Amino acid sequence: MEKQGEHKTLAEQAAEELIDLIRRNSYGPGDKLPTEAELSERLGVGRNTVREALRLLVSRNIVTIRQGAGTFISEKQGVADDPFGFSMVEDRKKLNRDLIQVRVMLEPPIAALAAQNAGSQDIEKLEEILLEIEEMIEKRQDYSDKDIEFHQQIAICSHNSVMSNLVPVIGKGIAVFASEIKSVEYEQTRISHRAIFNAIRDRQAVEAQQAMYFHLLYNENRYLEEQKE
Amino acid sequence: MEKQGEHKTLAEQAAEELIDLIRRNSYGPGDKLPTEAELSERLGVGRNTVREALRLLVSRNIVTIRQGAGTFISEKQGVADDPFGFSMVEDRKKLNRDLIQVRVMLEPPIAALAAQNAGSQDIEKLEEILLEIEEMIEKRQDYSDKDIEFHQQIAICSHNSVMSNLVPVIGKGIAVFASEIKSVEYEQTRISHRAIFNAIRDRQAVEAQQAMYFHLLYNENRYLEEQKE
């Protein structure tokens, strides 16, 4: 009963041609697209179809429309909000356990890759985030958004493009439940983030992997303990 | 410049309330939603807003609209098509290598979990898919779609809900490039699928993990060899 590839609407076909056009022209985040009139001419379809196609690309986070300014390539680069429908899941505790399980599988080898592949600018950026989190820890502030950024930057350091999209999605899924964790262990986070950062900076892939294991498993165990209480 | 949480349109707010309603009422795939008129009354918004909200949920694969029949919960359960914007990536070969790298990290531990957690119905379903692929191999048919199903069913056997959404997304990403692989090694696939299935059926987690490693690394090496030619 789902829409099949063969039964695409005009707007869906136009949306695919637009994606092709974006890719062929190497448009990057923030770049401005041609006007609706120009696109209509290039694709050989009506302006209403172009408008509908653009709306489809907005819903897929491929472009963003700024009133009065035009249509731009989205900074989100086509990564969907909530791409796995986490917001639909009823059993939040099970989802949280599943997400942690995925993290424990993925992030230690990503940290190893990061130690191996990071460029010097990648590492500078990682240190910046590390220092911001340390400052927030100092002030006992909620650093959960910055924490997602830290883990995403490690994924960026791995130079695997799939990881850098995947890791924040998993991280944000878990963040939903942060409120369920009662005591934020500021000091332990500070120590293990440091250990991960140092290993990546010093190109120690094995140490980076192990430091990430420890960081995640410490948090997992804390979470599971608190679920029991 | 991106849309922030605070600046949601009426339709976006209504879409979130609909997701809440779907979750609270434990609607499952294929279930029919109340009519637009009823939803309009329940949410206290106009029917145009409901219609626009439903369109947003269609674009997120949460519901599907069948002309004349009504609105139903989508079988895709909110998992976006191309959630990571793979269709936008210019360097397809790099993307393929990255996807294979992710698979090699994720799927062996998933196979181990599957051996540990699969129910008898999960295993029956896995065997069904295995036999279908073996028949296609016998006839030298293209089994790539069924292959994605096989790997997804192993993820379902793991009873980790995130995995069962994630694995087919990674698999489909790779499938795009299947045409780049010149010689399909039918016999090797038959043997290693069998080994994975047998280990899961026999509750041998370590063997399942190793069989999956071999299967993926064999394919990876074949792919990398062919890229060199």
Go through chain B and tell me how many residues it has.
229
Q: Do A78 and B64 touch (CB under 8 A)?
A: no
Q: pLDDT of B127-145, one tens digit each? A: 999 999 999 988 888 888 8
Cα–Cα dist A197/A18, whole Å: 40
> Would you call A105 an interface residue with chain B, using a CB distance cutoff of 8 Å?
yes
The backbone torsions φ and ψ at residue B17, rounded to the nearest 5 degrees and listed phi first, read -65, -35
Confidence (pLDDT) at B66: 86
Largest CA-CA distance found in chain B, in angstroms, rounded: 64
More confident residue, B82 or B50: B50
Chain B contacts of A87, Cβ < 8 Å? 19, 23, 78
Q: Do A19 and B95 touch (CB under 8 A)?
A: no
Q: What is the ipTM of this complex?
A: 0.80
* Whether the predicted pLDDT of A191 surpasses 60: yes
Chain B contacts of A177, Cβ < 8 Å? none
* Whether the predicted pLDDT of B180 surpasses 60: no
Query: Could you please report the per-residue DSSP string of B160-223?
Result: -HHHHHHHHHHHHHHHTTGGG--S--HHHHHHHHHHHHHHHHTT-HHHHHHHHHHHHHHHHHHH
More confident residue, A175 or B101: B101
**Other Cβ atoms closer than 10 A to B220:** 16
SS3 of A89, please? coil
Confidence (pLDDT) at A68: 85
The pLDDT mean for chain A works out to 86
Nearest to A164 by CA among A95, A110, A205, A99: A110
What pTM was computed for the model? 0.81
**The one-letter amino acid at A116:** Q
The pLDDT mean for chain B works out to 86
Cβ contacts of A153 within 8 Å, gap of 6 or more = A122, A125, A126, A129
Across B201-225, average pLDDT: 91
- Residue that is written with structure tokens 């009662």 in the block: A182
Structure tokens at A64: 């963003």
* Whether the predicted pLDDT of B69 surpasses 70: yes
Structure tokens at B165: 């959404």
Q: Do A105 and B101 touch (CB under 8 A)?
A: no
Across A18-46, average pLDDT: 90
Confidence (pLDDT) at A33: 93
Largest CA-CA distance found in chain A, in angstroms, rounded: 64
The backbone torsions φ and ψ at residue A91, rounded to the nearest 5 degrees and listed phi first, read -85, 90
Q: Do A59 and B60 touch (CB under 8 A)?
A: yes
Query: Could you please report the per-residue DSSP string of B4-18?
Result: PGGG--HHHHHHHHH
Confidence (pLDDT) at A4: 42
Nearest to A201 by CA among A82, A135, A76, A117: A117
SS3 of A229, please? coil
Q: pLDDT of B31-62, one tens digit each? A: 999 999 999 999 999 999 999 889 888 888 88
Chain B contacts of A169, Cβ < 8 Å? 83
Q: pLDDT of B92-136, one tens digit each? A: 888 888 999 999 999 999 999 999 999 999 999 999 999 999 999
Chain B contacts of A28, Cβ < 8 Å? none
Query: Could you please report the per-residue DSSP string of B121-167?
Result: HHHHHHHHHHHHHHHHHHTT---HHHHHHHHHHHHHHTT-HHHHHHH
B63 beta partners: B73
